[in-house]
Amino acid sequence: MNLLFFIDKSPFSNKPYGGSESSTHLIGEKILERGHRVFYLVKENKLFTNPHLQHSNLGEATLLCFKGIVEFSFIIKKINEFFLKRELIKIIDKHNINIIYCHYNLKFLEQLLLIKRQSYNFKIIMRMAGLHWYEVCLKKPHLKTRYERVFNEIDGVNFIHPNLQTVVEEKFEELNMEVNFKNVLVGDIGSSVSVGRGIPYEEINNTQFKMVMATRFSSVQKRQDILIKAISKLDTSLNVKLDLIGAGPRKKEMTNLAIRMGVSERVSFYPFLQQDKLWDKLESTDLLCHACEFEGLSKIIIESMSLGLPVLVSNVPTLNDYIVDYENGFLSENTPEHWAKKIQALIVDRASRIKVSKASMKFIEDNYNPDNNIKHYEDFFLKIINRYRGPHEFNQDKCKP
């Protein structure tokens, strides 16, 4: 097979990138090891440039970087789209691409479908890792029809968790969208973080109880506000620190909330960190917190569990499907009062945190090993090429620790 992986934020530069990018890169790495040809396509906009494609080698893989113009106007955006489409056709022709795997970038998927209708025989697989498309449709209802058309026309979808598939179907119904995916793969590749710790969790002895939440400040899904309010309810004698890492539309609002709640000395804000720096920070932290309304399969949670960092997450789908309270992680109801109570209990309950640290690493080793999970991707890709129809599900998604 010849596979092209489109990645919005490049994991090949020094700039921060997210879980979806690291997963897509990891799928490419592992499918390459199984003897297939792999191409990565990334985009990079420069202020002064002529739109063009730059080739470079990543070992046995090929990196294709489309260098467009900074999109400061509608006309520039259309120029970039024109040249990107032209380069995509060249890539597909020259390398005989069988599969294009990408996440739900609406404009990119529409471009691919336009090319595909011109009798190009490649298959489009879309990664469904969250509900950003749903948030977009709430803000811009006119885009709903375009998403609906794209979802029905692509060749397959990769839900990273079975409960995410259920939530997505519920959102389709809420928005009155009629979507019937042609082929479905349920499961995630896993984490690129090696399971294990440099220093055993029980040997960490921070003078402060350090907590981290690392995710985007979204307008709908993520709930940093719950954590900030929970910190304000903790006993003032407790020496705690919460670091909120990320970017997004609500970051300034959350910064102001911390000031209003009188916890600005306990809560700090940071931009997204590079992967290696983030992992180093996680290894020296006492607890990962992840407050949200709903979730796909949060990569930061999987990475933290790989590193043996105990996680405290909202008791919501899909998190409560694979996080079992006081076994491989901790769950909290989504109110500041419940979060404050759980955090205060965990500060003193060191034994439970040590137990969960060990159990979480075993859970990841058993269920999210990329060397095992890549076989499911390979099988699905081959079936898609042969016009297979039907669901395909990883065993990992039914596992409990």
Q: What is the pLDDT of residue 239?
A: 94
- The model's pTM is 0.80
Rg (CA), the chain: 22
With a cut of 70, say whether residue 15 has pLDDT above it: no
Question: Higher pLDDT residue, 378 or 387?
Answer: 378
Angle of helix 144-153 versus helix 106-116 axis, rounded to 10: 50
In the predicted model, what is the mean pLDDT of residues 255-259?
A: 96
Q: What is the pLDDT of residue 16?
A: 62
With a cut of 60, say whether residue 401 has pLDDT above it: no
With a cut of 70, say whether residue 325 has pLDDT above it: yes
In the predicted model, what is the mean pLDDT of residues 231-260?
A: 94
Q: What is the pLDDT of residue 135?
A: 85
In the predicted model, what is the mean pLDDT of residues 374-383?
A: 94
Q: What is the pLDDT of residue 200?
A: 92
Rounded to whole angstroms, the Cα distance separating 126 from 400 reads 27
Rounded to whole angstroms, the Cα distance separating 276 from 16 reads 10
With a cut of 80, say whether residue 340 has pLDDT above it: yes
Under the banding of pLDDT at 50, 70 and 90, the label for residue 394 is low
Residues forming beta bridges with residue 37, ordered by sequence position: 2
Q: What is the DSSP letter of 126?
A: E
Query: Do the domains at 2-190+369-398 and 201-366 have one common CATH topology?
Result: yes
Question: Higher pLDDT residue, 277 or 337?
Answer: 337
Rounded to whole angstroms, the Cα distance separating 293 from 222 reads 6
Q: Dump pLDDT digits (tens) for 288-304.
A: 999 998 877 788 999 99
The top-level CATH class assigned to 2-190+369-398 is alpha beta
- Mind spelling out the 3-state secondary structure of 322-391? HCCECCCEEEECCCHHHHHHHHHHHHHCHHHHHHHHHHHHHHHHHHCCHHHHHHHHHHHHHHHHCCCCEE
* Helix ranges restricted to H, 159-206: 162-174
Q: What is the pLDDT of residue 50?
A: 86
In the predicted model, what is the mean pLDDT of residues 27-33?
A: 95
In the predicted model, what is the mean pLDDT of residues 225-247?
A: 94
Q: For residue 369, what are its two tokens?
A: 């090993």
Question: Higher pLDDT residue, 10 or 351?
Answer: 351
Q: Dump pLDDT digits (tens) for 122-174.
A: 999 999 988 889 989 999 999 999 999 999 999 999 998 888 898 899 999 99
Mean pLDDT for the chain overall: 89
**Nearest one of 3, 12, 78 to 43, comparing CA atoms:** 12
Q: Dump pLDDT digits (tens) for 211-223.
A: 999 998 987 788 9
With a cut of 60, say whether residue 396 has pLDDT above it: no
Cis peptide before 318 (omega within 30 of 0): yes
The domains of the chain are located at: 2-190+369-398, 201-366
Q: What is the pLDDT of residue 376?
A: 93
With a cut of 70, say whether residue 389 has pLDDT above it: no
Q: How many residues does the chain have?
A: 401
Q: What is the pLDDT of residue 14?
A: 64
With a cut of 70, say whether residue 43 has pLDDT above it: yes
Rounded to whole angstroms, the Cα distance separating 162 from 140 reads 27
| CATH fold of the domain at 201-366 | Rossmann fold (3.40.50)
Q: Dump pLDDT digits (tens) for 110-124.
A: 999 999 998 788 999
Lowest mean per-residue pLDDT among 257-261, 272-276, 290-294 = 272-276
**Nearest one of 284, 275, 289 to 338, comparing CA atoms:** 289
Under the banding of pLDDT at 50, 70 and 90, the label for residue 392 is low
In the predicted model, what is the mean pLDDT of residues 53-82?
A: 89
- Check if the beta carbon of residue 291 is closer than 8 Å to that of residue 254: no
Under the banding of pLDDT at 50, 70 and 90, the label for residue 397 is very low
Give first-to-last CA distance, the chain, whole Å: 35
By DSSP bridging, strand 52-58 and strand 61-69 are antiparallel
